[in-house]
Amino acid sequence: MKIGILSFAHMHAYSYATALRRLPGVELAVVADEEEERGLAAAQQFGTVYVQDYQDALAQDLDAVIICSENSRHAEMVVAAAEAGKHVLCEKPIATRMGDGQRMIDACQKAGVKLQTAFPMRFNTPIQHVKHQLEAGAVGRILAMNGTNRGQNPGGWFIDQQRSGGGAVMDHTVHVIDLMRWYAQSEVREVYAEVDTRFYDMPIDDCGLLTLEFENGVIAAHDPSWSRPKSYPTWGDVTLEVVGTQGVTRVDAFAQHLVHYSQQAGKPLYLGWGNDPDMQMVEGFISCVREDNQPLASGEDGLRATEVALAAYESARTGRPVRLR
């Protein structure tokens, strides 16, 4: 299979490219990036061809593409890839506006190509173990959930509203909301949120607190933030607590790590020894294309998680709960 990566604007592109190189029968055939210096460096690093215009990449004989551009460009690239007949793995959030997200889904359905949202946490072993526990009824009926995704401020285009679509709440809500939907097997009905900038002097949010009600009655809270300092040993966390009628289970997706005291970095570092969810997600995408299966995290899953993030901003703006359905 020949895969192209459209843009290395998002840092996850590097781990996805590494995963592609490790998979048998898979070739990273081209890198497209409008920033020539970044694109050339990535192509050289991963031993492939560089083009500046992503349309030139789509004109090649590719089976699929991975899109890691700025959030605001996801829609144009996904639609173009679909029209070129390429399967798509798109970085999250899938879009910055609901209409764009639906247009992406419709374009892929019309073209008969797969659209997978980059939600690697669905592939994380501890997260999947809890999913299996819940399906087996280990905690009974789910009553409530509490989640966190607290990380470092990535800077760059992530703090540019026009390109990112939002700050920490946009960046860090979608992962955990997707897991909550997956666990609860229900859609979010109502969102109330407080969103603010407390950690950095910048014109975009770096923290928030969401309270949610699902259609099946589950209530939940979520803390998305860029509250971890640069000296923190890792980029951040993903944790979930699930309260049920028969028990409580807690999961820390990145608890499997060693502590490395690095003189070069000048700080301790957490080095994961568990599974690599990025690798497993890319492998899952390749598998669903090869075997004509449905992706574990679809474009619709990406859109529903984005819907909650956008509702959180609307709730914070108005000071009122936002009803989704």
- Over residues 235-269, the pLDDT tens digits come to 999 999 999 999 999 999 999 999 999 999 999 99
Give the tokens for residue 266.
Answer: 């000048």
96, 149: one domain? no
Tell me if residue 251 falls in helix, strand or coil: strand
Q: What's 272's domain CATH number?
A: 3.30.360.10
User: pTM of the prediction?
Assistant: 0.96
Closest CA to 252 of 104, 132, 149: 149
Shared domain check, 86 and 231: no
Mean per-residue pLDDT for 3-25?
97
What are the structure tokens assigned to 95, written together?
């879009």
**One domain, residues 150 and 232:** yes
Residues 159 and 256 in one domain: yes
Mean pLDDT across 54-69:
98
Which domain, by its residues, includes 6? 2-113
Domain end (from 91, 113, 135): 113
* Inter-CA distances, 201 with 159, 165, 196, Å: 11, 18, 11
Whether 13 and 106 map to the same domain: the answer is: yes
Structural domain tally of the chain?
A: 2
By the 8 A CB rule, do 308 and 220 touch? no
Of 113, 138, 153, the residue that ends a domain is 113
pLDDT of residue 186: 98
The string of pLDDT tens digits covering residues 165-198 is 999 999 999 999 999 999 999 999 999 999 999 9
From 90, 16, 104, 8, select the one nearest 52 (Cα to Cα). 8
- Are 98 and 138 within one domain? no
> Is the pLDDT score of 200 beyond 90?
yes
207-240 pLDDT, tens digit per residue, is 999 999 999 999 999 999 999 999 999 999 999 9
pLDDT of 156 strictly over 90: yes
pLDDT on residue 274? 85
pLDDT category of residue 129 using cuts at 50, 70 and 90: very high
Residues 101 and 128 in one domain: no
The average confidence (pLDDT) of the chain is 97
Could you say which of 84, 113, 142 is where a domain stops?
A: 113
> Which CATH number characterizes residue 72's domain?
3.40.50.720
pLDDT at 163 over 90: yes
Per-residue b or e along 33-64, where b marks 16 or more CB atoms closer than 10 Å to that residue's CB? beeeebbeebbeebebebbeebeebbebebbb
- 235: phi then psi, degrees, rounded to nearest 5: -65, -30
Q: What is the pLDDT of residues 97-121, one digit of tens each?
A: 999 999 999 999 999 999 999 999 9
